Amino acid sequence: MWSSDRRVGTLRIPVQLMESAMAGVLALVSALLLLLAPSHVPGTVFVGAAVALALAVVAP
């Protein structure tokens, strides 16, 4: 990406791809957790995965 006066150039970080990959890994971990260690309280893995994704997206 270049500035309007064409003096400064920079590379853009593909944030959407990184977030998608993070969500995919989190989905795999959640699925494995559900299959290998089922929870007795409904929704705990869902809530934990949602919180983990929110924290991962917000974290620098």
Q: State the chain's maximal CA–CA distance in angstroms.
A: 61
pLDDT per residue as tens digits for the range 8-53: 777 777 888 988 999 999 999 999 999 998 888 999 999 999 999 9
C-alpha dist (Å) from residue 18 to 1, 22, 24, 33 = 19, 6, 10, 22
The pTM (predicted TM-score) of the whole model is 0.70
Domain boundaries, the chain: 15-58
Tell me which residue of 5, 60, 37, 3 sits closest to 45, measured CA to CA: 37
Checking if the pLDDT of 2 tops 90, the result is: no
Whether 1 shows a pLDDT value over 90: the answer reads no
**pLDDT for position 29:** 94
